[in-house]
Structure 1
Amino acid sequence: MAEALTVGSPPIEVRIRRNQRARRLVLRVGCARSGPTLTLPPGVSTAAARTFLHDHEAWLRSHLGQSRQSVAVRDGTLLPFGDGEIRIVAAPDGRPRLEGDLLMIPGRPADLPVRAGAFLREAARAACVAAVARHAPALGHRAGRISLRDPRARWGSCTSAGDLMFSWRLVLAPAAVLDYVVAHEVAHLAEMNHSPRFWARVRALCPDYGRQRAWL
């Protein structure tokens, strides 16, 4: 029987995979059939794996599409952020801000989840808008309205009017993955389908899109 650990409540089962060639712990969501997997390098104990899963529970739940209410964002929560990680820290004053790898959130503890979420959404918006500004001119097209939402079944969409929608949770993904999703939707400005012509346009914007698509 495969080794597995559970994290949080309601519990999420994560399959454990030990790899002699791995150099670090790697957590992948996987597809609906296989479920999440945590790869362990040599020498990492089950206790250390359990601690790692506890620290990354919020990230895991967000990418499994569970409700925001099920993610306990509090002082000390560790979240993925682009190509790194940030830790939520309650601050005595000032505005929400990044200080290195710390996301400083002032105000009452009860308001921390809402204010942290607002900061992450704005960060996602800025990153998506910047990526659209890079990719759309490269195809000779112009995007319409850009919105950020929290859809359950997709990372982005493009309407026939050229309006683009992206999931704010892309800010929790590696930067290259966010860039691919934006490139994918921008390519729909030229091809409202998934034909070979469409994928050729995606490849022109994001040559290694296959790797980023596999991450999703």
Structure 2
Amino acid sequence: MSEHYLPGDPPVRLVLRKSARARRYSLRVSRLDGRVTLTMPSHAPESKALQFAREKAAWVREKLTERPDEVIAELGAVLPVEGAWLTVAHGARGAVRLEEGRIEVSPRAASVPAAVAGVLKSLARDRLAADSDRFALALGRPYSRITLRDTRSRWGSCSADGALMYSWRLILAPPQVLSYVAAHEVAHLAHMNHGPRFWATVKRLWPEYEADRAWLRENGEALHRYRFGD
């Protein structure tokens, strides 16, 4: 990969990526971090690839303006939690607490965003563990452990030894979407693929999964707009 810039005010950083599988030039603008990637066939000249990018400069800038603004989880910020909008505010007590319409943070907290992330991660673990338990029981396939991460490329995974991994940001999605992801990963305990039998298992565990899967595809990237100082 190499780095270039599209001219303009301001210049746009462009990452040029060669691929043996690519058959044409393609541009991608990440909604997560605004990274612009130009993929090109490995045998094609870079000059033509960069000319292609310059011709698409207006499209690139339009896509960059469509990126949602970042929201820092500080006092006054409004965050989606399990389908409800909660405002980050100071609370009278020492611990971070979820109250009606609020995430209350102690005035003594060293970092408000980090404190908010802590309570959201704890809530996500509770919800995902509960869903994983009930789906694994229904399937008759136990899992070995659960871990939470802040992943960008996937919402969950299931390893060959039955270890489940989830993105804790699922707590920012509607609760039924979180449950769909849990059902999806638990179904992998029986089928380590995405074939017809796998999807039939997902449907048995979570019958309305299609709508929740579509929500995640349409809105999932926006969950990364919320920043917690990490």
Fold agreement, TM-score > 0.5: yes
Match of 1:171 in 2: 171
Q: Give ranges in structure 2 of 5+ residues lacking alignment.
A: 1-27, 33-67, 217-230
Give the distance between the partners of 2:167 and 2:122, measured in 1 at CA: 12
Q: Which residue is equivalent to 2:145? A: 145
Residue equivalent to 1:208: 208
| Unaligned ranges ≥5, structure 1 | 1-31, 37-59, 62-69
Partner of residue 49, structure 2: none
TM-score (norm 1): 0.67
Over aligned residues, Cα RMSD in angstroms? 2.0
Alpha-carbon distance in 2 for matches of 1:134, 1:76: 36
Q: How does 1:61-100 map to 2 (within 5 A)?
A: 71-100=71-100
**Structure 2: how far apart are the matches of 1:208 and 1:155?**
18
Q: State how far apart, in whole Å, the 2-side matches of 1:34 and 1:143 are.
A: 34
Give runs of aligned pairs for residues 1-216 of structure 1, distance below 5 A: 71-108=71-108, 110-216=110-216
SS at match of 2:183: helix
Tell me, in whole angstroms, the C-alpha distance in 2 between the residues paired with 1:209 and 1:92. Answer: 41
Q: In 1, are the aligned partners of 2:71 and 2:77 still within 8 Å (CA)?
A: no
Deviations along 1:63-119, one digit per CA (max 9) or x if unpaired, are: xxxxxxx64211111000112111111224321111112111103465111111000
Q: Distance in 1 between matches of 2:121 and 2:99?
A: 18
What is the CA–CA distance in structure 2 between the aligned matches of 1:173 and 1:86, rounded to whole Å? 13
My pick for the range that moved more, 143-152 or 70-79, is: 70-79
Give the match's secondary structure for 2:111: helix
TM-score, length basis structure 2: 0.63
AA aligned opposite 2:167 = S
Tell me the distance in 2 between the aligned counterparts of 1:213 and 1:98. 27
Matched position secondary structure for 2:170: helix
Aligned to 1:22: none
State how far apart, in whole Å, the 1-side matches of 2:31 and 2:109 are: 33
Are the aligned partners of 1:80 and 1:173 in contact in 2 as well (CA < 8 Å)?
Answer: yes
Contact 2:73 2:79 in 1 (8 A): no
Contact 1:90 1:112 survives alignment (8 Å): no
Give the number of aligned pairs: 154
Distance 1:72 1:81 in 2: 15
Question: For residues 122 and 34 of structure 1, do their structure 2 counterparts lie closer, same or farther at Cα, with a shift above 3 Å needed?
Answer: closer
Following superposition, the deviation at residue 162 of structure 1 comes to 0.2
Could you tell me how far apart the structure 2 residues matched to 1:198 and 1:165 are? Answer: 18
Retained in 2: the 8 A contact 1:96–1:116? yes
Aligned-partner Cα distance in 2 for 1:136–1:153: 24
- Whole-angstrom distance in 2 between the partners of 1:169 and 1:140: 27
Q: Which has the higher contact order (CA 8 A, sep 6+)?
A: 2
Q: Distance in 2 between matches of 1:193 and 1:81?
A: 31
**Which is greater in Rg?**
2
Structure 2 SS opposite 1:107: coil
